[in-house]
Amino acid sequence: MKSISIPDLPPVLSAATAERLGRGFTWGVATSAYQIEGAVDEDGRGPSIWDAFARQPGRTVNGESGAVACDHYRRWRDDVALIADLGVDAYRFSIAWPRVQPLGLGAFNAKGLDFYDRLVDGLLARGIAPHATLYHWDLPQHLQDLGGWGNRDTAFHFAHYADAMARRLGDRLASLATHNEPWCTAVLGHEIGKFAPGDRDPRLAAQVSHHLLLSHGLAMAAMRAGATACPLGIVLNQSSVTPATASPADQAAARTEYARFVRWYMDPLFHGEYPQDPGIARHPQVRDGDMALIRQPMDFLGINYYTRIWASRGQPPLPAPAALGVTDMGWEVYPDGLRELLVGLRAQYPGLPPLFITENGMASADTLAGGRVADRQRIDYVRAHLEAIAAARDQGVDVRGYFYWSLMDNYEWDSGYAKRFGLVHVDYASQQRTLKDSAHWYRASIAASREAAHG
Ligand code: FCB
């Protein structure tokens, strides 16, 4: 990959911000298996719930699926070179459960395991720290046929899979997370039906959230028992919540929303109990011992932050003027919400492990013209969120790193290929990758930050 100089690239991240991020700050990029790999029928991979979901009419934009995506399964060597070219320290990816264990139980697939072995070794050979996630939404379809996350047994199958992966890769990983965004699996997958498996059943969704947390606890216990060397944790999507007005009703609505979105996962993981909130009617069935399993020491916590949530009782939340604009997803750009969230977590959960921002980024309607993608809004977005992280660190929050979502444009779930989150542009017809301006800016900022932090 040639390094070209972009004439009017905005100034890099300031030295002052870089210093506040600290010397050992990890700079990374993130992806997930189903969104980039393609090759869904290759080398013994089993079907996943996303393959099945995308086939159902009307579920995804234009009926698009991850069948080809970025063809990363075949092009991974080039993609590792691309990651290295960005000058990052770390790469976060996910392991496709149906690729390594096609049915989600029983036999493992040697070719699938070899793929992740080679990927990890390829990253290490280029000095890039591999951060893996075990579950980024692609449940083996066979387990779905047995009841999916609504079936308590799935948690035990997950722990078995986690243990096998930790034994296989744990000696070389920089971190291993159990789940990515269990809220999305529970609520978007089982209550709203926007994501696979597409159920619309609030009672089921509550039980699924519990089984996801239980599976995390069982997996942590299994991996610790196996003496896994790498740091273990989980990745949660979180937001700050703003009441639409100062009225007591809206304040209460905001507390409920925070309890649903943030505390529903944080309280079990760190306090060993579900939050009680008058706005939350449904609680899952919990068996003796479950909460103690869920609440286990973690080595790190990953937080994905994109935007804030507005809350109001009664009418739909007031769309306040988005001072910093909205993204192509229609999400408000609100970096201070990240600072507010992090500072709040530190106060609410003493003994919080080190934090990583495992996802943050934005979609824009990028166009490739003359070999260039001028994505100025993305540069402003990343800079502002890094400044928010620096501000949180000033307030005592232990944030150790930042992973931009995403390395490259990819399959954005029900939105298909229309939403482009990448630092790298992908032409899906040719699979050509092109660094956007933001990629050049990120690389230059990382280099400048290293200098500033070490200076
Ligand atoms: C997160 C998901 C990730 C991607 C981004 C935009 O919720 O973890 O896969 O879709 O949103």
Judge whether 2 lies within some domain: no
Number of domains in the chain: 1
How many Cβ atoms sit within 10 Å of the Cβ of residue 368? 14
Ligand 1 centre to CA of 361 (Å) is 9
Q: How far is CA 185 from the centre of its chain?
A: 12
Cα separation of 298 and 300, whole Å?
6
Q: Answer yes or no: is the C-beta of 412 below 6 A from any ligand 1 atom.
A: yes
pTM for this prediction: 0.98
79 lines ligand 1 (CB under 6 A): no
Residue 314: CB atoms within 10 A of its CB come to 9
pLDDT 10s digits, 207-232: 999 999 999 999 999 999 998 989 99
Residues 416-445, mean pLDDT to the nearest whole number? 98
| Predicted local confidence at residue 424, as pLDDT | 98
CA 223 from centre of chain: 21
Report if residue 9 sits inside a domain.
Answer: no
Residues 312-321 pLDDT 10s? 988 776 667 7
Q: Is 183 in the pocket of ligand 1 (CB under 6 A)?
A: no
Is the Cβ atom of 413 under 6 angstroms away from ligand 1?
Answer: yes
The answer to whether residue 151 sits within a structural domain is yes
Confidence class for position 1, pLDDT limits 50, 70, 90:
very low
Burial of 292: CB neighbours in 10 Å, binned 0-12, 13-18, 19+ = exposed
Residue 1 lies in a domain: no
pLDDT digit string, tens, across residues 341-351: 999 999 999 99
Tokens of 338: 């990240």
Is 377 part of any domain? yes
**β-pairing, 309-311 with 241-243?**
parallel
How far does the chain reach from its first CA to its final CA, in angstroms?
29
What is the Cα–Cα distance from 90 to 174, expressed in whole angstroms?
9
Measured in Å, residue 358 CA sits from the centre of ligand 1 at: 10
Mean pLDDT for all residues in the chain: 96
Domain that holds residue 183: 15-454
Pocket test for ligand 1, best of 34, 413, 420 (most atoms within 8 A of CB): 413
Report the atom number in ligand 1 closest to the C-alpha of 180.
8
Read off the pLDDT band of 4 (50, 70, 90).
low
Q: Verify whether ligand 1 is closer than 6 Å to residue 421 (CB atom).
A: yes
Q: What is the DSSP letter of 332?
A: B
Per-residue pLDDT of 267-311, as tens digits, reads 999 999 999 999 999 999 999 999 999 999 999 999 999 999 999
181 as an active site residue: the answer is yes
Which CATH number do you get for residue 151? 3.20.20.80
Residue 406 counted as domain residue: yes
Residues 351-406 have pLDDT tens digits of 999 999 999 999 999 999 999 999 999 999 999 999 999 999 999 999 999 999 99
**Residue 409 CB–ligand 1 contact under 6 Å:** no
Q: How far is the CA of 25 from the centre of ligand 1 (A)?
A: 23
